[in-house]
Structure 1
């Protein structure tokens, strides 16, 4: 059985003058051994995530594994909704969350304590999470960022990149745009992903698709609906 995937919560790269909205992609992977959730999004996406799961007949309790690309708030809030699940995070990111970069203000208060209430497995190096679902280090944005590489039946090699590639700008310029590790480290990660992927699910942008010339484009829009109450 080859893995399949779909984006449950569509992220975007919108920001305010002195802040940003922090809406990240949350991706559901259907693997041989069950459902895998890639990141859990921020509180701003909490109700939308629950609705997206319910629309597919999935309860939070049906998610067996939650893979956390890194521990920033916009990717790792809502972990409490899946307290029953197995959480997978890199050992380096776990250590980083205890001693973050002095300019990194994006780690949620108490994230390690919250996760410690559940079963947490720590990753080092590269390996297999499920059949056709492989994990790999993707440092740069933070030192402990990780991504997943999916060997799909109909879409080729799909890399769910998280914030290793946050938006199209990084794929176009082939350079890391926001690093709490080192820009050069993040740039090498981006180049590796671009070389290997047929499709990329970024952290905050629609899916990117490789073209015959090797460049990546996006075909799906990223709607952002605001309702005034």
Structure 2
């Protein structure tokens, strides 16, 4: 079994969205200005004897610009940098894999930088938390444009006939195949977040948190992110990740930590197994 790490570009936004209240005015700094923070957009591919498993799809390649899928105001708030080389389809092509070969796509959640390329995988079963799917569809039905659920992305794939599998809160974790388990983390950063536990023979156990934990500050100091749906749910999911990490002696890979990401081996040249 092999685990590939994809560099799907980067986002730049206010640091307070990553770590809440991290940059605020104080009595000795009353004119404190907000600061921008650049962070990676990762994706992951697991090669197993049962086929390929893709975890998250990144941003749509046409998200930016005057006619981009993201609203202009949203583009300025969450600025994406990337080109064709960062597109998930390009990353797969570098490994000799066609999108049609992907049979399982796990969506950690359905925000702009995780579910932007659903439309490119016609033969895949998409696994997502039901509450997260419902939230995305509600945003679509009510034409909420300034939201992390991108209306134009949804408008394309909702017209396609995809195979969906929904996990409920009461379902618990879900084993995809030996060594690959979906961690059903529930509400926190989003309405329903799915993490991933990959147990590799040589590398050992790896927990991929996605946005359940943005970065090391969220994990080590338990500082909540600024983008959060359920604060108490986020704290519960964080403690659960820490419990599993200790139990499995696992590495914990955060969702958008630049410093950590730059230390990982990136596809196509490298992989973990």
TM-score normalised per structure 2? 0.67
Structure 2 SS opposite 1:184: helix
1:135 partnered with 2:171: no
Look up the match of 2:151: 109
| C-alpha distance in 1 between matches for 2:226 and 2:11 | 12
Post-superposition Cα deviations, 1:180-223, rounded to whole Å, max 9, x if no partner, equal 32222112211221232211222212595xxxxxxxxx771799
Larger relative contact order (CA 8 Å, sep ≥ 6):
2
| C-alpha distance in 2 between matches for 1:10 and 1:151 | 23
Post-superposition Cα deviations, 1:72-102, rounded to whole Å, max 9, x if no partner, equal 01100011111221111111211222346x9
Look up the match of 1:56: 95
Which of residues 154, 173, 198 is equivalent to 2:202?
Answer: 154
Look up the match of 2:5: 7
Q: Which has the larger radius of gyration?
A: 2
Task: Indicate conservation of the 8 Å contact 1:60/1:81, yes or no.
Answer: yes
Instruction: State the 1:12 CA deviation.
Output: 5.1
Look up the match of 1:199: 251
Instruction: State the 1:175 CA deviation.
Output: 3.4
1:73 partnered with 2:117: no
Post-superposition Cα deviations, 1:125-182, rounded to whole Å, max 9, x if no partner, equal 2221122111122231012111111122122221111111112221121232134322
- CA RMSD, 1 decimal: 3.1
Which of residues 158, 168, 175 is equivalent to 2:216?
Answer: 168
Structure 1 SS opposite 2:240: helix
Instruction: State the 1:39 CA deviation.
Output: 0.4
1:86 partnered with 2:103: no
| C-alpha distance in 1 between matches for 2:149 and 2:54 | 20
| C-alpha distance in 2 between matches for 1:185 and 1:163 | 13
Mark the CA change 1:147 to 1:189 in structure 2 (over 3 Å): closer, same or farther: same
Structure 2 residue runs of 5 or longer lacking an equivalent are 15-33, 62-81, 267-273
Mark the CA change 1:23 to 1:114 in structure 2 (over 3 Å): closer, same or farther: farther
User: Which consecutive segments of 4 or more residues in structure 1 shift more than 6 A?
Assistant: 17-22
1:121 partnered with 2:121: no
Total equivalences in the alignment: 211
Task: Indicate conservation of the 8 Å contact 1:147/1:159, yes or no.
Answer: yes
